Structure 1
Amino acid sequence: LQPCASGSSIVGGKVSKPHSKPYMASLQYQEKHSCGGILIRKDFVLTALQNNATKNKYVKPLDLPKKAKSVSDKLKCLVAGWGKTGPSEPDSKVLKEGTERTLPITDCEKIWGDHFKSQQMICTTFNKKDGGICQGDSGGPLICKKKLQGITAFTASGHCDNTLYPHVFTNISYFLPWIKKMIYDYFS
């Protein structure tokens, strides 16, 4: 398993109750957390694992969206991960969670320009009390209205706690046909 792309960790927020996020995966490289993942089937984690997960009361997949649709603005969404707890802080030793709110696409386009592909991404912000993503949280979930909507993609390097820089998530519904094809091809 190779290291994951740099992305983010939870800044602020709170420690997740043990076993409350049974779909969370920690992808590790040389026995250290590299990035998060989302178990969507017992045999498939978004950001790849080779072996099946053993489903039990602590390990359960999170369903994919049923169909492609845009995510509305001002939705309160859950984020979780083991990444940094601040721009110059170490990775968390425990799973942490926070809350972010979706923003209009134009807010991300202004800041991120060509790095932001509007149909493929979701734009969010956070406040320090509720917590938000930072480096090391890449691959983790964005869950809005109890539905998986996005995968943590990136935030400003060294500025994950700066609300002037919106956080960016991959819009899962946009990639549903590709995800389903990958699963079908892998298991055919």
Structure 2
Amino acid sequence: MLGLQKFLLLHVLAWLGQIAHGSDIIHGEKAPENSMQYMASVQNNRGHVCGGFLITEDFVVSAAHCDKDNPTHVVLGNHNLKNGNHQKIKIEKKNIHKNYKIPGLGDDIMLIKKVPLNDRVQTIQLPPAEIHLKENQVCQVAGWGKTKTVGKLVDELMVVDVSVIDKQVCKELWRGLPDNVICAGGYKTTKGFCQGDSGGPLVCDGLAVGVVSFNYYNNCSYPDKPNVYTDISKYLQWINGIVKSRKYEE
């Protein structure tokens, strides 16, 4: 039994070593001006570290693992991060899902509070209930990250179409895959996300259905692994409870 436990532990550690979190857009294009006005840049004192998206006047959704970069504020209202015509707003509270440990084990979601609205930003709706995406359904992912494995963050918001991958196929390719996730892009394609801009939304039919979580470690050409997102529809009760009660956890 002890030998089996050691084998399973080594298997899990090897699998987790393949993971890298991020949301940089590969083989995408610049997002049209005045589109996707719900997109948020989550930043620390050095600049952009993650993506996010505005769901109410007060709250931005991002990935829990983005907290490791100690974000201090969010930027809204402009696709170009070097353009001064945007809102830079101090983060008041961060609510990380209580079950989160590392991206590969799931629950990679965080609520950031508080963000006032102006006429240049909009919210994006979440699914009203648990969703079941169809295989090959085309969705979009956007971010300000690298456009190739060895590259720099970009100033202009980039967006790319990605196709939903069957969950069973994804589980066969990602052994030990958490249940509350969506797979889209990366596998058998050159389009998807990469390292440097986690927390952005997977948008399907106008709804934010996923949060960028992880992909194959340090490889943006996506040879054999799907991109993985946190399935927002599995966390609606948690999100709504925080938004409605205005209570926060450290």
TM-score bracket relative to the smaller structure = 0.7 to 0.9
Quote the RMSD (CA, aligned, Å): 1.8
The one of 148, 152, 166 equivalent to 1:90 is 152
Amino acid at match of 2:175: G
Aligned to 2:238, the other structure's residue is in SS state helix
Output one character per residue of 1:73-93: Cα deviation in whole Å (capped at 9) or x when no partner.
110001100111111111111
Distance in structure 2 (CA, Å) of the matches to 1:156 and 1:81: 18
Aligned with 2:166 (options 92, 99, 104): 104
- Give the TM-score taking structure 1 as reference length: 0.88
- With over 3 angstroms needed to count, the CA separation of the structure-2 counterparts of 1:6 and 1:168, relative to structure 1, is closer
Runs of 4+ in structure 1 deviating by more than 4 angstroms, as ranges, are none
Aligned partners of 1:27 and 1:33 also within 8 Å: yes
Question: C-alpha distance in 2, partners of 1:37/1:55?
Answer: 17
**Structure 1: runs of 5 or more not aligned:** none
2:90 aligned partner: none
Q: Which has the larger radius of gyration?
A: 2
Supply the AA of the counterpart residue of 1:22: Q
Kindly report which structure 2 residues correspond to 1:157-168, keeping only aligned pairs within 5 A, or say none: 157-168=217-228
SS in 2 for 1:177: helix
* Residue 197 (structure 2) pairs with residue 113 (structure 1): no
TM-score (norm 2): 0.67
Q: Does 1:170 align with 2:185?
A: no
Would you say the 8 A contact 1:36–1:136 is kept in 2?
Answer: no
CA distance in 2, matches of 1:98, 1:92: 14
State the match for 1:42 in structure 2: 57
1:64 CA drift (Å): 1.1
Change in Cα spacing, 1:163 to 1:124, as seen in structure 2 (3 Å) is farther
The letter of the residue matching 2:45 is Q
Give the C-alpha shift of residue 6 in structure 1: 3.6
Q: Aligned residues, how many?
A: 179
Hey, what's the Cα distance between the residues in 1 that align with 2:245 and 2:21?
A: 27
